[in-house]
Each structure stands twice: as structure tokens, then as C-alpha cells.
A and B are shown apart, each in its own frame.
Chain A
Amino acid sequence: MTSFDLVEPRSLEEAFRYLDPSDPAIRPFGGGTALMLMIKAQMYKPQRLVSLGRLGGRFSGISFDANACRIGAMTRFATLEHSPEIAARLPVITEAMKTLANVRVRNVATVGGNLGHADPHLDLPPIWLVLDAKVTVVNRGGERVLPVADIFSGYYETTLGNDELIAEVEVPVRQGWRSKYVKVTTRATHDWPALGLAISVQIDGHLIKDLRIVLSAAVDFPRRLLGAEAVLRGAAIDEPLLQRAGEAAAEEADMESDSRGTGDYKRHLLRAHLRRAVLALAAE
């Protein structure tokens, strides 16, 4: 590891002076938990890291209004974990924190860095997708708002320019929806998921009025399972329906074998856990 500069701009304007659209050796720095590992493993050799820690403003804080929750990109996981408002209105996030990394990482890792890292095994991205969250991305020219899903373009790849910054995440607070995230591990309890499954439903008795299903970890980047959604949307929950939904999910998800399991096994797990998750949500 040769030396590099770490700069801590206090304004966006200053930050953009440091960032460079064409130089991959210059990167924004959130909590650094992902970057430092890549640097130590010599997978990434930076020349300059631009810390977003002093930007403040829209990059920090959590706020709610009637319809939405706004989360600054520099919000630490520990802040999400301990926020009573998040626990009350977006409990799926609070729940996910219980098995996400460890206390040291949660104290440092940020919401923006987590998205920027684009590792398909991360727990929060599928949750943002299932909650239908949007991100605001700022750049020299202004800003753009896009669905979280549109950030990811491949395995560890994003659609963000090298000098674009994730500023905040906006999550709609949808009345009558319930969500669940299942981290399916196949080795030790504390492990990267073999597959991550996030489900949001709007249920009336046994009738699924609307829903979103997102699969992560076993695929290149988190993606919705539209086929399984279509089977379940507007239908009443019973065994044959759940079986059909499971088949549809297994069919549309292109899952590769890795050290966490063969593709076949993951498809089987997907069927089983999808069924269980829908039943659990219906029983809530």
C-alpha cells in the first residue's frame, strides 16, 4: 500500500473540486469499511479518497414526513439501528440490523457507501428495493433522482459516474404494507447470505392486493422477481398458489453455484423461503 491523500471537504463545491470523473484512483469515502478491505487486499490502489464526513446537510440525518422517510447518505448503520422512528415505521430495517455485520462495522458503515459498494450480498439494498426507495444523486451539473434498483448495473458495478455522490435515500412510508427480509445462510450462522429475500405485501385477510419480491446475493445484483409477483398479485393465499409462486421464482432467478451452495440448492431454498415468508407476513 503506497500512500494516498485523504481529504475532508466541507462543501459540495469543494468536494467536486477533488473528485474526478475519469480517474478511478479517486473515490468518495463513506465509512471506509469496504474500501479499506479492498485497499489492504491490494485490489484497489487509491491516490485520493474524498471523505464525505464533513459535508453535513442533506448527507446527514433521518427525517420523516407523512409520506416518506429521508435518510442522509452518511447515516451510519448504528444510527438506523437505534432510531425509534425507523423501528416504528420501517421495522424491517431495524430487524435486518440484528444480523448485519458486527457492532464495529455498524458504527462506521454508511448508507451511501453500502449502495456505492454494490456487493450483491449486502443486506440493505434488497430492502431498499422492496420498499420502493429512491436515491438522490448529486453531480457537478445538479442532481438526479432514481429508483435504488437503477444504481446497480452488475457484480460490484454501479451506474454512478466516478464523480457522482449519493446524497440521500427516500423511502415511501406506505400504509398497509408489511415487509420482511430473510437472510438465508448455509454455513455458519454469521455468514454472507446464500440468498437474500425481501418481500413487501399489502394484504387483506388472505388476499394479496399488491406485493414486491426482491432476490439478492445469489444473483449479480438485487432484482425483483416479477414472475413470482405476478402469480401472487391479486390472489388468495393457499398451498397451490404458494407452490406456483415458488416455481415461478425458481424459474426466473438465474442462480449460480458457489461455496454457499449449488444453483439447484439455492432454487430449492428460494421456493421454501418464499413460501414461508408469505405465510409469515399473512400471519402478522
Chain B
Amino acid sequence: MTSFRNIDRSVPRLEGREKVTGKAEYVHHLRLPGMLYGKIFRSTVPHGRIKHIDVSAAAAVEGVYRVVTIDDIRTIIPHPYYGPAFHDQPVLADGKVRFAGEPVAVVIATDRRVAEEAAGLITAEYEELPAVFDEVEAMTSDVIVHDELKPAATFPDLQHLKGRSGTNVALDYKLRRGDVDAGFAAADRIFEHTFRNQQVMHTPLEPFVTVAEPGDGRMTLHTASQGPSFVRIEIARLLGWPENRVRVKVPFLGGGFGGKLYIKLEALVASLALLVQCPVKISLTMEEQFFMVTRHPCTVRIKSGVNNDGKIVARRCDVIWNGGAYADIGPRVTQKAGFTSAGPYDIENVSIDSYAVYTNRPPAGALRGFGAPQTAWAYETHMDMIADALGMDQIEFRRKNLLREGREQATGTPMRDAALDAVLDQVSTRMAWSEPVDRGTGRIRRGRGIAVGFKGITAPTTSVAMVNCYADGSCALYIGTVDMGQGSDTVMAQIAAEVLEIDAESIRVIHSDTDVTPYDMGTLGSRSTFHMGTAVLLAAKDAKNKIAELARELSLPPGNNLPLPELFRRKYGMQAGNIIGTGSFIPDYEKPEKDTGRSTKATPFWGVGASGAEVEVDTETGHFTVTKLVNVADVGVPLNPKLVQVQLSGAAIMQLGFTLTEEMIFSEGQLTNGSFADYKIPTLLDLPAEFINECVESRQNDGPFGAKGAGETSTIALSPAIGNALADAIGIRLTDLPLTPEKVFKALSDAKRLWSAGG
């Protein structure tokens, strides 16, 4: 075994010191000379035609520079609609509003508070239209959210996107394998259940923020974005400018979780800056984040044909994703999470229909897990319900059906480097599954559950990296990957350093600046370690080759140990010059076949994870505690074990919130709990007493040093593990997330199993 200098080493985060001493740069802190502040005025109705907007009182406030509506935006951007899948989202509401909270106008003022006060003076009149909020209703509703569908055709995997006009369906993805009806007909038993996932939000601690700085025929955006390259392309498209006139800079991010992708505030703030010819900043409040982007509510209907020996022979999934008013990247979620929605099982006959639908809710997009946790909630709860009905052990039942290495997943893509068995085995060990459980007899009941899941990775996507060796031999890495807390700077430096035979700590990582750093699709979907990591590896190798070439050019004998600065000195006669290595990576991909969804290369690698949970339930009140939580992931070779550990625990805590406490609650389309006093994310007090996060030994053979992504894996199977534990404890199934004490109470009292004193 090769020994490494930087790999499988918990290099402390390169930026750790800067962050804890408060010196790290965030857009939030940025102030430019002459900068003005924008404040958004939002719609109060979920669906309506705008009759009239009165900005006069706002415009009269001292310190207000200008009040802007879509008519003003049009003077800058003639077709002011954006979006990664559909060009469906107007920069400001254009004649119509489609959700309560949609931006309708903006006040620009010399002071943030003045802008805020003035925005409060704007009034708008609407002709209210009937609205649709539920994804299942939206499938057949007469209420149509978009009269016209406008596919963007930006991404190769979404090029076939047309939507179904005259409906709310933005994308329907189909997968057909074998003959599912014949499978059901032949099966011993049939099971069918429906599951629901609620709407939740990313909650980055740094809310969305963008500063636009107009120049002479140029524009610089300082923005909290996970995808600066995309922002540049899309802003250039909207403005009709060449890409080289738009510069996008991203310092550190205070969390993104998939929310800060594609265009968020950028198109709006860029237009404002061009309108007033001054730098303009918009910083959302924590509360406004609920109206920017969210996670899809999702209803999953799942039907399985199973033989008495526990073999699943057929499965049908109908998955409906509630995309809200604008598609954002929802169609891609629909496709990627659609094709894995039958679970990591070897099933001969599979039929999947996955739909992205428009409704009058705040838009939904990418969120850590990219749909996989919603579908896993369904298929892994369904699996336990079947196991219970068959009287089989839950782990045995899964083992019997698990996709093994080399077998074809439902799309036809073979499973490679996917340690499904290993993660399930390790969870089983950590949960001491073979030992008996004390479920309790009185008021307090206990139970345990497990679940396993997988996800495909967004494809095809490109990363380009550049390694620059300076004349004194020090090196910098130029990448578009955004360090948003996950530690990508550190890991990318480790990869480059390993090739260059130096220490990761000595490398400087240059942050996203599209004038300086090369293209990257985005920091999303667990892709960076694999994609950008490979590009960095190639760039470092390229630099190394060029160094060797330089040595040859200087007629040095092979294997000479002359340090790089000396090579430069001999070549240029002084401390001068650079060696620039570049690398670019795009994985193999085969577009899914339109009618069958089949593809032999649907994903560059598999995200694989299993979870186990123990719960303790107070059967008088419905309160329950997760007393133990185990998450086991296959991340390939962990390049930085400490960072992997923190990714797994962080993702698990996030999903724990989505499982137990977080839910955007609406009444007639109005969000009723849009603040952190009422939308509860978990705190340290909510963590299980026993909380284990680890990975199995594995290797992604085509990944950089054997690695693959780790940012989402522990989100996948967590919710069903807890739901299964709850069912084990109280003998009742909850099918709708989140799992709240009141739902448990209600289920217990409906089943007349509520504990009562003296009863």
C-alpha cells in the first residue's frame, strides 16, 4: 500500500483560524463606496393579477433613491425571465403574482433601514385568482400556474424538457423496466402505500446577499452563490453581454445547502445597479429566506408485488414533486431522485413516474439530498411495512433484495463501488440488531429501526481547475468550488499537494472569481470531491509534467532534485515565471431514453448510506426522543476523515430537523410560521444522546485517490430509520413527515393505545 502525505489525513481546515477569529470575508460584510441598499416589497396574495402598484409614498421618503418595478427592469433586460430548467421566473412580478411573498417592487435607498421603511409604504392591488397549493391536486387542477411554459435548454440532461402545456406539469420523467403489471399479477402479495414529505427550508446562517457593482460596460457581482460560473452565464444571457463582461466573485459562504444555486438575487441586483449606476446591495433577512427557495413537498405512492419468500418482483412508484411557483432546478430533482425512487433493490419489473408540478407556494429547488431523502422516506417505510406483514426481520428482508455490486439498477446502470451491503451490515452491528430489545411495558415504550438508501449524482457536469506554481516554488489552486463550510478548500489542497509532493497546508486556494478561476458547474449534489477533485488532480499532474519538462529543457538529468525556484532561476535568470497546470473533468454520461428512462451511465457514482435509530416514546403525551442515531456512509476513501465525519453529522442533524420539527405551515397560501421562533431547526439540545456517524471501508475506483462525495449521504435513510423505530415502539405507522408528538399522540389515541394513569 502506498503511503500518502496528505490523503486520509485530518488536515485542519485551512480557513479555520480566519473564521474563528472573525476575519473571514463574507459578502454580508461588504460595503462599497457610494453603495445603495435595496429592499424588496412582496406580494400578499398567492395568485393574482396585479391591478395597480402605488410607490408614491415610498418614493417620497427622504433617502429613497428610486423605486423599481418590472417596467424599469425591462429597460435593462428586455426579457427578464430566468431559471436553470425553465425561463419562468420574472426578475420582479410581471403582471401576475404566483405566491404570497413574491418580489413585486424594490426600494433603493442610501440606507438599509430607510429602504425597509419605505418598502412598507408601497401598496399593491390585485385581482385575486383561484390558487392551488397541493401537489396532488395540482396534477389535475383547473388552476394553471403558468399559462405558457418556457424551457431553458441549458443542461444536456434536461434538453428534452418541454412540460405539458395547459397543465401544471413542468416535467414528467418515466422509467420502465420489465413488465410491472405482469409482475404484480404473478406476485404472491401486493402492498400499496402513500407517503408525504412536508415543505422545509435550507436555513443558511448567512441569508442570501448580493452586491452588484456596475463598471464601464462591465459588471461585478459579489454574491453568496454556490455556482458563480452559472451566475455569470445566466447574467450575461439576460443582459445580452459576452461572458467576459460579467465578473462574479464569491468569498466564503455561511452555508448554502443547495439554496444558493443558479440565479437567486443576482439578476435583480444586477438590474438595479445598472438602473442607478451605483453599487447596490440586497441582503435578505432570515425571515425572507422562506420566500427565496425551499425543499419540495413530495407525495409518493408506491406499490410492490412480493413473493412469500420475501423477494420483491415488481414495484411501481408515482412521485409528485411540489415545485411551487417557479421550477428552479425542480425538474432535475424530479429526474434524479425519480430514477432511484424504487430504492436500492434488485427488482425485475419497475415502473416509475415522477412529476414536477407548479403550485402557488414559494419555489422549491435543490436541498441537500436532492430529493433522495423524500423518496427514501417512502420506500424505506414501505419496506418495513412489507417486512412486518411477511413476518420477516427488517434487515434480512432488505438483504434479500439489495442491489449487489455489478447488478443493474432500474435504469440499467450497473452498480459499481456502491457498498450497500457493507453500510447495512455496519448499521446492524452498531445497533446490536441480533440482540433482543427491551420495548417496555408501561407508559414509556422503546423501539428501533433501520433504513438504507442511495442516490444518483447530477450528471453530466464539468469542473476545470488550475494549479499555479510561482517563482519561489509556492503554489496556489484556482477553483470555482465554493467553500461554504464543508471544507472543500482543504480537501482540494490535499489532492493537489499529494500530487505535487508538498503539504496541503502550504497551498493557497484562490476563491471563486470568474475573471480568475476557471469554470465549475457548481458546488452541489456531493459532486465537488469527485468532479473538481479529479480536475485538481489532473491540473496538479499537468503542473508536475511541466516542471519535469522544464528540467529537461534545462538539460538536467532525470531524477534530479533541483528545487522549483532554482529551475525558474536557471530558466529566467532571476526569480520569475509561472508553471500553470490545468485539468478539466466531465464524467461519462448517457442521457435517459425518453420513454423508458433507461441509461447505462445514469450517474458518475452512487451515494450510499444507511441509518439506525432507537426511540423512547411517552405514550401518554406522544413526546418521543431519539436516544440513539447511527449513520453509516460509503464515501469511498475518506480523504480527510475529520471533515467527512463533520459532513455526516451535519447532514444528519439537518435531516433530523426535517424529520422531527421543521415544517413550513401555510394557511390559504400564506406562510404562518415564517420566523425561527416558529419554524424550529434542531439545536444541540435535540441531538440524540448516542450519535454515531462513520463510514465503511470502500473505494471509488475512478474517484481522486478513491474518494467520492460525502455531503448528503447521511440524509438519505435517516427519516425512515426514525419512523421505523417509532413504529417498532408503538406498533403504529406514521406516513407523513414531520413526526411530531401530536401526530404520535393522535395515532395512539385513534388506535386506543394511549397510556393513561389508572387505565
Binding site for B on A (CB under 8 A): 1-2, 42, 186-192, 239-240, 242-243, 259, 261-262, 265, 268-269, 272-273, 275
A269 in complex: contacting residue of B116, B621, B681, B757, CB < 8 Å: B621
Inter-chain contact B117/A1, CB cutoff 8 Å:
yes
- A1 contact set on B, CB distance < 8 A: 113, 116-117
- B660 contact set on A, CB distance < 8 A: 188
Inter-chain contact B681/A186, CB cutoff 8 Å:
no
Please, could you name 10 A-B residue pairs with CB atoms under 8 Å apart, sorted by A? Answer: A1-B116, A1-B117, A42-B117, A186-B741, A188-B681, A188-B685, A191-B680, A242-B757, A265-B742, A269-B621
Contacts A2-B117, A261-B742 given; does A188 touch B757 at CB 8 Å: no
Compute how far the CA of A239 lies from the CA of B623 in the bound complex, rounded to whole angstroms.
22
B113 in complex: contacting residue of A2, A186, A265, CB < 8 Å: A2
- B120 contact set on A, CB distance < 8 A: 42
Q: Is B307 an interface residue (CB 8 A)?
A: no
Inter-chain contact B685/A268, CB cutoff 8 Å:
no
Most interface-central of A187, A243, A262 (chain B CB within 10 A): A187
Compute how far the CA of A269 lies from the CA of B660 in the bound complex, rounded to whole angstroms.
19
Inter-chain contact B665/A187, CB cutoff 8 Å:
no
Chain B residue with minimal CB distance to A275?
B757
Residues of chain B from 106 to 140 with CB closer than 8 A to chain A in the complex? 113-114, 116-117, 120
Nearest CB of chain A from residue B388's CB, rounded to whole Å: 28
- A239 contact set on B, CB distance < 8 A: 757-758
- A192 contact set on B, CB distance < 8 A: 677-678
Compute how far the CA of A239 lies from the CA of B757 in the bound complex, rounded to whole angstroms.
7
Q: Is B72 an interface residue (CB 8 A)?
A: no
B685 in complex: contacting residue of A2, A190, A259, A261, CB < 8 Å: A190
- B680 contact set on A, CB distance < 8 A: 187-188, 191
Inter-chain contact B678/A190, CB cutoff 8 Å:
no
Inter-chain contact B742/A42, CB cutoff 8 Å:
no
Contacts A2-B113, A2-B117 given; does A268 touch B661 at CB 8 Å: no
Chain B residue with minimal CB distance to A45?
B117
B744-759: CB near A (< 8 Å → 1, else 0) gives 0110000000000110
- B575 contact set on A, CB distance < 8 A: none
B666-680: CB near A (< 8 Å → 1, else 0) gives 000000110001101
- B678 contact set on A, CB distance < 8 A: 192, 259
Nearest CB of chain A from residue B353's CB, rounded to whole Å: 34
Given contacts A2-B117, A187-B680, A269-B621, 6 further A-B contacts (CB under 8 A): A1-B113, A1-B117, A42-B120, A186-B741, A188-B680, A273-B621
Nearest CB of chain B from residue A104's CB, rounded to whole Å: 14
Nearest CB of chain A from residue B518's CB, rounded to whole Å: 42
Residues of chain B from 226 to 270 with CB closer than 8 A to chain A in the complex? none
- A269 contact set on B, CB distance < 8 A: 621
Nearest CB of chain B from residue A277's CB, rounded to whole Å: 13
- A265 contact set on B, CB distance < 8 A: 742, 745-746
Chain A residue with minimal CB distance to B672?
A259
Inter-chain contact B758/A189, CB cutoff 8 Å:
no
Q: Is B686 an interface residue (CB 8 A)?
A: yes
Residues of chain B from 714 to 759 with CB closer than 8 A to chain A in the complex? 740-742, 745-746, 757-758
Compute how far the CA of A240 lies from the CA of B757 in the bound complex, rounded to whole angstroms.
9
What are the nearest 4 A-B pairs in CB distance? A188-B680, A189-B685, A1-B113, A187-B680
Compute how far the CA of A190 lies from the CA of B746 in the bound complex, rounded to whole angstroms.
23
Nearest CB of chain A from residue B111's CB, rounded to whole Å: 9
Q: Is B555 an interface residue (CB 8 A)?
A: no
Compute how far the CA of A262 lies from the CA of B740 in the bound complex, rounded to whole angstroms.
12
Nearest CB of chain B from residue A17's CB, rounded to whole Å: 28
Nearest CB of chain B from residue A36's CB, rounded to whole Å: 13
Inter-chain contact B661/A272, CB cutoff 8 Å:
no
Q: Is B703 an interface residue (CB 8 A)?
A: no
- B682 contact set on A, CB distance < 8 A: 188
Inter-chain contact B686/A189, CB cutoff 8 Å:
yes
Q: Is B620 an interface residue (CB 8 A)?
A: yes
Nearest CB of chain A from residue B326's CB, rounded to whole Å: 26
